[in-house]
A and B are shown apart, each in its own frame.
Chain A
């Protein structure tokens, strides 16, 4: 009973549990190599863009909205950063800051459309996705460009004993923690929890949504920059998978799509879970596939099947996330949560 209560009261717990499970399986299939700093570094540096995208998505989902355009926004940031540095020979700092600004502006645009035009965000961001990927293609019609090796080796390297990407993620987490201490942090959850109540309490929900999308755009911009540093190049199609993957990470992390419940901790765990799944599948097939006869020629299909199935299994853990009360069978007082239950 206590465990059940615990599960239901910690928004991010499903994500942590899933991640712990994935880590254990990963250790089993990878062996002791897992426990090397280099391994952690590679996991974090490769997955930092998804982690950041998941954080960006979480903030929007907390307000009860969704952002499909995160992937194309990351692409736009990537192409702008590369174009300015390579074609116009701007300094890296300037071009990357400009790209970050562009990512934030896309967030502002989404916010304006969702909050003030009141178009359902699923469709609004589906439309902006088209606009933004068009812009990315216009900025950089074909893949190319490079990032100075100092930048990408710093990105993939260490800083004071920890992988650089861990610091980057920690900075964003700290930033969000500070924002959460401001009223806006509460308002974001209030708007997602019950928009009408938030409004009746005097909260300007349009501004809250605009803020959430703007912040999300900013973090998406950082995600795009992480992707640029990881890939060290520009590509007008590179961010495509991040839109839906970031949503999957958010759900895996225990945040509920209807808003108001969840947190970025879970989403980070969810994103890492997705990263570890491809790791697990890699090691399973690298270390053990040879032992099973008959899957040699088509093994690559089964890699996909396996990782898809693991992800579905993870999603089923959404059972543990509490829902908005649905009124059937009197759940006004939650089971085991009334005074006399303890």
Chain B
């Protein structure tokens, strides 16, 4: 094709702008990383052992657990439409309960356990998706209600008390270390980051997920099956969260009903601190992992500081507000 006029002399999207945009987008993650390092250094002042390779390794593996729960959360938040999944904790718990009940310490039950865990997580996600997309219940409330149901299901399934423990191999991965600073769990975490990155950046699904989160109407009119993409985010979230339960019992060696619930709200915080906007359409899983590290280091730091439980909660909240104020502020309407 040939055009024989070229009078486009206005250039609103100049070069500088792109660099700044890229820098700002990169910045959130860099900033989170910086804050994580800063918290480590503060920890080092409180206790020199805080910076020992073993301790860093321990903190990283705890962070990876939160990062796993926040994996599905990342997808759901990216998918936009006020997307948030408050059932991740319950799905994690269900995954954990199923894992110990099915494995009962036997290595040859690992595969069946994984299949069942993923299927159960998918079922939770499918029900969430139906509620959110078909019945149009707001995600926040639908997933909250689903979390309650999943908790009750765990109780009925286990009669209140899950029995069994993870297979030896799984427990070894969950608690063993390759190097002092590198527990196997962290290796799994890095693997998960690579896979999530591949899903988000190198498959058509990830591509369409970002598109739907950025502008669902435009995506719909470009032929994207918005409901399937968005629903898929909830289904994947259920599956990933249930898998997080598997790793949670690998780390802990035991399961109890609702053991993952404490991760629910921190998973949202990790996603946001990692640079994924609650408005959807942007963000990354590596950011979420860094967000998880920030929250975990902060938690550990508060343990070694000399405060009581009340003080710990207060400081935790204040530091969170400061973190959020530092870089997740909404832009003012007036520019």
Contacts and interface: CB of A to CB of B under 8 A. Distances in A.
B310 A137 contact: yes
A195 B333 contact: yes
Contacts of B317: 127-132, 134
Given A138-B314, A141-B310, A199-B333, A119 B137 contact: no
Given A122-B84, A123-B324, A298-B159, A318 B138 contact: yes
Given A251-B138, A318-B138, A130 B314 contact: yes
Contacts of B148: 304, 308, 311
Interface string A300-317: 011011001101100110
B311 A315 contact: no
B329 to A, nearest CB: 5
Contacts of B131: 312, 315-316
B135 A316 contact: yes
B321 A127 contact: yes
A300 to B, nearest CB: 9
Contacts of A304: 148, 151-152, 155
B333 A134 contact: no
Given A131-B313, A133-B313, A134-B311, A123 B328 contact: yes
Contacts of B272: 120, 123
A326 B137 contact: no
A305 B149 contact: yes
A247 B141 contact: yes
Nearest to A244: B144
B278 interface: yes
A34 interface: no
A316 B137 CA distance: 6
B300 interface: no
A258 B279 CA distance: 12
A119 B152 contact: no
Looking at chain A, what size class is its interface with the partner chain?
A: 35 or more
B316 A130 contact: yes
A311 B149 CA distance: 10
Interface footprint category on B:
35 or more
Given A120-B272, A123-B268, A312 B310 contact: no
A126 B146 contact: no
A118 B331 CA distance: 8
A130 B330 contact: no
Interface in A289-336: 298, 301-302, 304-305, 308-309, 311-312, 315-316, 318-319, 323, 326-328
Interface of A: 66, 68, 113, 117-120, 122-124, 126-135, 137-138, 141, 195-196, 199, 205, 244, 247-248, 251, 256-258, 298, 301-302, 304-305, 308-309, 311-312, 315-316, 318-319, 323, 326-328
30 contacts: A68-B265, A113-B325, A119-B321, A119-B329, A120-B328, A120-B330, A122-B84, A122-B140, A122-B278, A123-B320, A127-B320, A131-B316, A132-B317, A134-B310, A137-B309, A138-B310, A247-B144, A251-B137, A257-B138, A258-B82, A301-B152, A301-B160, A308-B145, A308-B148, A312-B149, A315-B142, A315-B145, A318-B136, A323-B136, A327-B217
